[in-house]
Structure 1
Amino acid sequence: MASEVSSLEDQAQKFAQSLTATVHAVDPDCEPFTAKYVEGAPRLAVRQSPSKGIPLKVDGVPFLDLKVIFECCMDSKGDYLAVEKSRIEVTPKAGSGPTFRYEYDRNYTKAPPAHMHVHAHRDAFTYLMATAGNSSKRSKRRVESGKVPSLQDIHFPLGGHRFRPCLEDILEILIEEFGVDMQPGTLKALRDGRANWRRTQARSVARDDPQSAVDVLRSLGYDVVWNRSGEEPPVRWDRLEQY
C-alpha cells in the first residue's frame, strides 16, 4: 500500500508539472499546479494554488478565466495514474458565470462520464427542451419538473472515458475562436502536450481492447503472442459501449 501511495503522489506531481508547463506556454505568470490530497479521500486534487484560474488576455487586456481541476487516483490495477474527476470552466471577465464547462467523472452513470455544459440562452434550444418527449429518465424529469429548461442542463457527450478533450484542446479553441493572446512557442507546446495526452490514452485504449491492439500490430508486421499463464485479458465492453 505504501508503494502505491508513493506512486500516486509521484505521478500526480508529474502530471501537475506537465499542466503547469502547458499553461505557462500561454501565460508564464499564472499560478502553477500542485497535487494535494482531497480531505477524507484516497485521491489527489491537481489544481492551481491559489485557485484563481488561468488568466487569458486579448490584446493584453484580461478577457477570460480558465479554471481547471483534476482529481486523480490509481487505475483499477494500481499501476498508472487515472483521472477520477475533472472540471474545466471558461468564464468571461465581463460575465457573472461560466460560458461553458467540460466535466468528467469516471464513476458517473446518470449522464455521459465526459460531457460539456453550455451556459447560454437560446430560444430554439429552450423550445425543444420544453416540448421534448419523455422516453428517457432525464427528459421525463425535465418535462415533469414544470421548470423553464436551460441549455446548460444538456450533457453534450465528449468521447467517453478515453477520447475526451484534453486541456490543450480547450486552450487552443480559445486561441483560435476568441483570439486569446499567445506567447512565442505556445502552439508548439500545446501540440506537444496533446500528443503526450493522446499517447497515454492510446495505451489505456489498448488495455480496454487488447484484441484490437494485437490485430493492428500484427497487420503492421509485428509478432504478438500471449506469453503468460491463464487466459488472455478480455475486451472491456463496458468502457467501449458507454457514451
Structure 2
Amino acid sequence: MTSDLARKAYEFAQELQSTLNATICRDVRIKAVQRPLDAVPVFTVGSGLSRSNLSQPTGFPVRIDNKKPRLWMNLSYQVHLDREARYLTVHKSYCGIFSDEELETCLCHFDYEREKDKYTSAHVQVHGHSPALEALNPPGKEKRPLEKLHFPVGGRRFRPSLEDIIEFLVCEDLAEARPDWKRVVEEGRDRFQRNQLRAAMRRNTAIVEEFMREQEKQS
C-alpha cells in the first residue's frame, strides 16, 4: 500500500510543480516525502522537503523571470490513501501568500483540514486591519484581529484549488503570469472539479441512483 501511495503522492507533486511553473513560477521543485512516525502512512507534499526535512515545506518565490520577486508562496499538503486504499486523499492543505522571503508578512492563507472540529474545514484567513471587526467583537471578550477569522470557502468537496489561487494572484495584479496561464488554470481546475465530483458520487451512490432515475423519467 505504501508503494502505491508513494507513486500517487509523487504524481500529485509533479502535477502541482508543472502547474506552478507553467503559470506564475519558474524552476519551483515540489517533492513528496513520507512523514515519520505516523501510524497510517502519510506523505507531505511541498517545496524544500528532503531527508533532513520530512514535514515542513519552505516558501518559494512567485516569478517567471530573473526579477526580484514581490511575492512568496508557501504550499503544503498532507496526503494518504482513502479508506478503500484506492484513491489519493488530501487530509490537510495550506497555501500562504507572503510579501517577504522570511514568510513573516502574510497577505492571506487558504487552509483545508478534513474533519476539523471548530471551524469549517475549508477556509481563508486574511491579514489586515478591520474597523468593522473591532466594532463587532463582543464586549468583555478577547479582541480578535482580522487574521483570526476563518472565512468559509466552498466546503470539503469544492474548496479552492491551486488553480483558483493562481487566478486570484494574476487577476489582482499580485503576480505576473506566462502567456498560456489561462489554459493551464482552466484545464487543472477542470481536473480538480471532476475528481471531487467523482469522489462525491462514490460517497453518495443513493443520490446518483436517484438522479439517474429522474433522468430516465425525463427522457
Which of the five TM-score ranges fits, normalised by the shorter chain? Answer: 0.7 to 0.9
Q: Which runs of 5+ in 1 are unaligned?
A: 132-142, 223-243
Q: Distance in 1 between matches of 2:24 and 2:175?
A: 10
Q: Distance in 1 between matches of 2:212 and 2:4?
A: 30
State the partner residue of 1:227.
none
| Counterpart among 120, 132, 142 of residue 124 in structure 1 | 132
Q: Distance in 1 between matches of 2:207 and 2:195?
A: 17
Q: Which amino acid aligns with 1:190?
A: V
State the partner residue of 1:43.
42
Q: Distance in 1 between matches of 2:17 and 2:213?
A: 38
Aligned residues: 206
Q: What does the per-residue CA deviation read over 1:27-66, in whole Å, with 9 as the maximum and x for residues that have no partner?
A: 4523211110112112000111254434224994411111
State the partner residue of 1:115.
123
Distance 1:128 1:80, change over 3 A: same
Q: Distance in 2 between matches of 1:196 and 1:169?
A: 12
Matched ranges for 1:134-145 at <5 A: 144=141
Q: Distance in 1 between matches of 2:195 and 2:127?
A: 31
Q: Distance in 2 between matches of 1:8 and 1:108?
A: 23
Q: Which amino acid aligns with 2:108?
A: F
- Bigger Rg, which one: 1
State the partner residue of 1:79.
86
Q: Secondary structure at the match of 2:165?
A: helix
Assess if the C-alpha contact under 8 Å between 2:42 and 2:78 holds in 1: yes
Matched ranges for 1:1-243 at <5 A: 4-41=1-38, 42-49=41-48, 51-57=57-63, 60-93=67-100, 96-131=104-139, 144=141, 147-220=142-215
Q: Distance in 2 between matches of 1:81 and 1:205?
A: 14
* Offset at residue 148 of structure 1 (A): 2.4
Q: Distance in 2 between matches of 1:221 and 1:16?
A: 41
Q: Distance in 2 between matches of 1:193 and 1:29?
A: 18
Q: Name segments (4+ residues, structure 1) moved above 6 Å.
A: none
Q: Which runs of 5+ in 2 are unaligned?
A: 50-56
Assess if the C-alpha contact under 8 Å between 1:54 and 1:67 holds in 2: yes
Q: Secondary structure at the match of 2:70?
A: strand
Q: What does the per-residue CA deviation read over 1:159-218, in whole Å, with 9 as the maximum and x for residues that have no partner?
A: 221011101100110100125211121111111111111111011111222122223344
* Offset at residue 158 of structure 1 (A): 1.6
Q: Distance in 2 between matches of 1:221 and 1:79?
A: 31
State the partner residue of 2:52.
none
Give me the identity figure in percent.
28
Assess if the C-alpha contact under 8 Å between 2:71 and 2:174 holds in 1: no
Q: Secondary structure at the match of 2:106?
A: coil
TM-score normalised to structure 2 length: 0.85
Q: Which amino acid aligns with 2:135?
A: Y
* Offset at residue 111 of structure 1 (A): 1.1
